[in-house]
Structure 1
Amino acid sequence: MTRQIVVGVDGSAPACAAVRWAAADAGRRGLGLRLVHVCESWPHSEGIEYCAALEAAADRARARAAGIEVTTDLRTGNVVEELIGQSALADSLVLGRRGLGGFAGMLLGSVSNAVAGHAVGPVVVVRGPQEVEHGRVVVGYDGSEPAWAAMEYAVEQARSRRAELHVVTAWQVPVFSPYAIGYSNLVEEIVQEEPRAARALAEPWRTGNPDLVVTDEQPCDHPATALVRAAKTADLVVVGSRGLGGFASAVLGSVSHAVLHHADCPVAVVHPAARKET
């Protein structure tokens, strides 16, 4: 069966942007596309309207990427639960940053945030249409299990786009007590060693993917700040759902949550068990 990208559709402008993004991604990667609209309740009189909205979205998707297989699915139930369930069999789940209609609660921090935190596979949140393509995929990487999953997804995205893969590994100087003796020497050691250790994390991915241009940076900064800054010249930012080391606070609601809120480009949140056998 063809792997499918699932898109949450509700007729809002961000959802339309999500459909366009997902259609282009499906076309690049040879995947099917399934458009899903979830209603908390389904008044019979509105069924035709919902179906028409789905078909209009399907037409936009086919126009965006000719030749892809597009299907539609009109469902009733709890929006978050339905979308999380849909993610279990999907290659990825794509949502608009905000929504209306059947996704009345789709403000980032409610539906999008809940789905990004609990979905089985990668969740891509699209802010709006991108006017400029940079040819660059950014990934936050610290060597943790979620970061590995994020890196695998980022590699696939960069390869399908023929784009540069830019690896960001942020680090921070620990806070020492002002009464600590000799801490200045320790700080100096950290400042010298941390960038070297961070740089080494990207090397296996560079050598393991000789067909890709892999660049990296090791800023002394908060991970969220570094990734949001990198997003200004990226087509996609990929983060793990949680992290270690440089991403010590990267539970959804801290680093991932901050990047979802503030990045200028689409953001993919990837969970450790997200990469399925194909």
Structure 2
Amino acid sequence: MAGPIVVGVDGSECARAAVEWAAADARRRRLPLKAVHVCGRTSRGFDSRTYWHGVLEAAADSARAISAEVEVSTELAEGNVVEALIRQSASADSLVLGGRGSGGFAELVLGSVGLAVAGHAQGPVVVVRGPAATEHGRVVVGEDGSESAREAMAYAIEQARARHAQLLAVHACQAPVVSAYAPDYGLLLEDAFQEEARTARERMTQWRAENPDVEILEQQAREHPVPALSQASTTADLVVVGSRGLGGFASALLGSVSHGVLHHATCPVAVVRPRTGKP
């Protein structure tokens, strides 16, 4: 997508971290950046609009200080926060939001607003909790072979390439508990896991062949995807997940895995949803 990286601005600490992340991403990927604030019902009026224009300009100045070569613009929108952000995502490369906010972005991730944005926005939604303390040189992606995961993988490869970073693809699958009275069933589950692992390795071989300039590692985990990806996030600069998946990543719209990773990952998280016209 050739559109700008759009970052939500509300003056909070997390929003400032989101601006910093978005500006660095725009510099790395040579994309324009647009800072947006949505005025809801409680923030309308001449004085509040003047205030938010000032907040937006301060955010733009911060972005330009990080990367003078990035084209930076601002927009003061009105209406419902979720609907406005989803509209922005339609023409954006990606949407970047702070993990917690104030005003129009209050409780953006931990409440229903954040889930709605990440579940309905077109393309990647990146959630930034705070400034990065350390750079690890690694991007992590959840991979299960679904269409949503393929979109996530493509975005993760783009991020790894722009960062000159290593990419770790995590394929996690937690098998159900097997009764001691059904040993044959346990053998069948083991065979199924091995077959799933084999097809996952084949997918990685194809991704490596198509992207020889990116170092792609893989990890097979016999556990639920949320703890597997959350643990991997401790040594990552970004975790990328699809908005929904199959197998170990089964979820509807924005289900347990995406939701859980948003809550528990220690680094920024990108939730990638296929754009309109894709399955």
Could you state the TM-score of these two structures normalised by the residue count of structure 1?
Answer: 0.93
195-204 or 116-125, which moves further after superposition? 195-204
Q: Which residue in 2 is equivalent to 1:138?
A: 140
1:55-74 mapped onto 2 (5 Å cutoff): 55-74=57-76
Q: Secondary structure at the match of 1:203?
A: helix
- Identity across matched positions, percent: 62
Aligned twin of 1:217: 219
Seen in structure 2, the aligned counterparts of structure 1 residues 170 and 73 have a Cα distance that, compared at 3 Å, is same
- Gap regions ≥5 residues in structure 1: none
1:12 paired residue number? 12
Q: Deviations over 1:225-272 (max 9, x none)?
A: 111111111100000000012212465130000000110000001112
Taking a change above 3 Å as real, the CA distance of residues 74 and 185 of structure 1, as seen in their structure-2 partners, is: closer
Instruction: Write the letter of the residue equivalent to 1:43.
Output: G
TM-score (normalizing by structure 2): 0.93
Q: What is the total number of aligned residue pairs between the two structures?
A: 276
Q: Which runs of 5+ in 2 are unaligned?
A: none
CA RMSD of aligned residues (A): 2.0
From 201, 205, 221, the equivalent of 1:199 is 201
Task: Tell me how far apart the structure 1 counterparts of residues 152 and 134 of structure 2 sit (CA, whole Å).
Answer: 24
Distance 1:40 1:9 in 2: 13
Equivalence for 1:83: 85
1:127–1:257 Cα change, 3 Å: same
CA-to-aligned-CA distance 1:104-161 (integer Å, 9 cap, x gap): 3525223222100110121000010001001111111111100111111111111111
Q: 1 CA distance for matches of 2:125 and 2:276?
A: 10
Residue matched to 1:272: 274
1:149–1:274 Cα contact (<8 Å) kept:
no
Distance in 2 of aligned mates of 1:13 and 1:265 = 16
Q: Which moved more, 1:216-225 or 1:199-208?
A: 199-208
**Counterpart mapping for 1:81-160 below 5 A:** 81-160=83-162
CA distance in 1, matches of 2:226, 2:24: 27
Deviation of 1:197 (Å):
3.0
Query: What is the distance in 2 between the residues matched to 1:12 and 1:206?
Result: 40
| Aligned CA distance change for structure 1 residues 184 and 260 (closer, same or farther; 3 Å) | closer
State whether residues 145 and 200 of structure 2, in contact with CA within 8 Å, keep that contact through their aligned partners in structure 1: no
Task: Output the CA distance in 1 between the equivalents of 2:136 and 2:276.
Answer: 26
Q: Which amino acid aligns with 2:52?
A: Y
1:2-52 alpha-carbon deviations (Å, 9 max, x no partner) = 620001100000000000000000001110000000111311122211111
Please identify, of 171-180 and 92-101, the stretch whose mean Cα deviation from structure 2 is larger.
171-180
Contact 1:9 1:19 (8 Å CA) reproduced: yes
Give the secondary-structure state (helix, strand or coil) at the position aligned to 1:24: helix
